[in-house]
Amino acid sequence: METAEDLAKRENRLRVLTQAIDTTSPGGRLVFHVFAAVAELERELILERTHAGLAQAKAPGRCGGRKPATGPVEIKRAKAMLADPTITAEEVAQQLGGSHRRSTGTYQAVAAS
């Protein structure tokens, strides 16, 4: 809609070749606005359904997102390694196979707990 309005301000017209929409005519503008309204409605319905699905999934205690990459065994090993003050969280992440910043943050959180 914003693009079409911007084009109209510049005295350009929008014509959709695959459908009979030409924004220079009143009928074409009507069809364009109806399609835009339907698209907005559909977007809002998708958001509503998504939020309802997330709420339904959370009700029994499930949560979305990626499963944790570190399990109890890795956390135990990390705690043991982090007990040594000469070993950094970055080194623990490298040794346990997580060179990504997220892993380093995980092991820093483990060290803090």
pLDDT in tens, 70-96: 778 888 888 888 888 888 888 887 887
Instruction: Please report, for the chain, the start and end positions of each structural domain, with discontinuous segments joined by +.
Output: 2-58, 72-112
What is residue 49's predicted lDDT score, i.e. its pLDDT? 95
Instruction: Select the more confidently predicted residue: 98 or 79.
Output: 79
* pLDDT tens digits for range 11-60: 777 777 777 777 778 888 888 889 889 999 999 999 999 999 888 888 88
Torsion of CA 71, 76, 78, 84, to 10 degrees: 180
All residues at 6 or more sequence positions from 82 whose CB lies less than 8 Å from its CB, including other chains: 89, 92, 107, 110, 111
Provide Rg for the chain, Cα atoms. Answer: 27
pTM (predicted TM-score): 0.47
Q: Which residue has the tokens 């606005």?
A: 33
